[in-house]
Structure 1
Amino acid sequence: MFSALLIDKGEAGQTTALANLDEADLPDGDVSVDVEYSTLNYKDGLAITGASPVVRRFPMVPGIDFAGVVTASTHAQWKEGDRVVLNGWGVGETHWGGLAQRARLNGDWLVPLPAAFTARQAMAIGTAGYTASLCVGALLDHGVRPDQGEVLVTGATGGVGSVAVALLAKAGFTVAAATGKASEAEYLKRLGAATVLDRAELAGPGRPMQKERWAGVVDSVGSHTLANACAQTRYGGTVAACGLAQGMDFPASVAPFILRGVSLLGIDSVMAPREPRLAAWDRLSRELDVDALDTIAEEIALAEAIDAAGRLMDGKVRGRIVVDVNR
């Protein structure tokens, strides 16, 4: 038997509770893992609270991330004792996820736990940090360099934003962090932000072309925020978009793209192929100061994850939430 969060749905609606499950209940897969740590992401918050129809099969164990140790494998790449990380692939949506003490899944979805990190540190990074690394890599691959000007990070106190600020600052960029939490300015500056903006400057309708400010942007917010960020990006600059915290809409014009040569790059972390995943984790292991993880992350027990998901959806969480599934 093992402990897990279990989401189910009946005539009265969705319920989420801590449950004791039998290993025989685990879904099919060629690798079994003892999970050490998981984490709460925005998508996990949506799933656990039922705020959005993220879960597509019931019952479901949520959790789009985990780090742990392989206990059994018929997959050619993995053997008992290997330390592994899982991010995305529909886990926690269509396949049982990481907010549990055990998991069984397709070994193709796993990557090695970098030697630079413990399992807890890997989950302090989680999908949010891995996505931030994909965004930073996209900017660098597209030619954005520190001497070209400031880089904007929106949703900066969130998981993606916090890690993006830290990675960009370590890479030598001058980072402007946009947040709605003025009280967290010191937190963002500790991560490496040079300036902190009120997100209200970007959150409302704006002109299609605005004063050029940013050499690059990492946006996890979408909607008017993304539209304004594009309208303020310098000639030839690049915007990496990975989230929709403000909304899925994009109320913008083509003007920044055809008059300033701005590039808008979509960043998907869920179904990203293996090579970009490995590159993103390699960048994190080389460039992310592990001491920053203590600033970014708080730790909770598995039983606390339901309440924490509510806090996350209410915008009351700073940085990352690590879940010790074994307490």
Structure 2
Amino acid sequence: MTQISAARTPAPEQAPHSSKTSTTSLYGGVTSRRVTVRDLAGAKERGEKWAMLTAYDAMTASVFDESGIPVLLVGDSMGNCHLGYETTVPVTLDEVTLLSAAVVRGTKRALVIGDLPFGTYQEGPVQALRSATRLVKEAGVGAVKLEGGERSLPQTELLVAAGIPVMSHLGLTPQSVNTMGYRVQGRGDEDAHRLLRDAKAAQDAGAFAVVLELVPEELAAEVTRSLHIPTVGIGAGSGCDAQVLVWTDMMGLTSGKMPRFVKQYAALRSVMGDAAREFASDVRGGTFPAPEHAFH
């Protein structure tokens, strides 16, 4: 790929960060309040990388929150790994609202971001504001995520103007799977320049961060250098400011072949399967419940 020549976009003037925001690590530093988009901006300034995981229920979210994960995404990936859909397209706003509220209830510190599912913002800015407002008011999320760069600029601008922080999502956008398929995005000079334009446009519209999914590592690094807002990579190499994984993939709960960019840190599917089989065996053999599990 030809190196993209793009000057770093100057950061707009902002109110100075408090000393607590600008000098304290995201990991363990913010204990009396939730992480905010200002904390993420401070991490970008410091060059501090951070992790984001998906979450879809209160119990799992509480584990990640207690582990210090600063940002949790209630992603439309729930369609594939939680609700049994083949793609993210069928996910509804009702489903995202319900599960986002559960994640918010299960956490005390993490910034919770709710995904705007397919069909809830494509009509235009007014529909996007209505959908995002519901996630903020009913679920209590601290920000929303939507797919698309230039095509979603009016939506992003209106949400930001209304006081709702927006994370943009570029590269492979799963809601567009029926048109683009599952393949690396941004290969070739033309596609690379288009993605860089989309990222800058999202930043100029007020997005506080940009997800880069399935993007060549060199391009993702160039986008990261060109923006003053954080980039969040998933299958985009190590040059991004942050990294996100679907938690069921990361924990080894998802079945089948994993994407190349996934690292599995546990083998929960095997652990849970073994436990379920042992439980069934105890019940069949009459060893569970034992006397210590009974009341008298």
Q: Shorter-chain-normalised TM-score: which range?
A: under 0.3
Larger helix share, 1 or 2: 2
Normalised by the size of structure 1, how large is the TM-score?
0.24
Larger strand share, 1 or 2: 1
Normalised by the size of structure 2, how large is the TM-score?
0.26
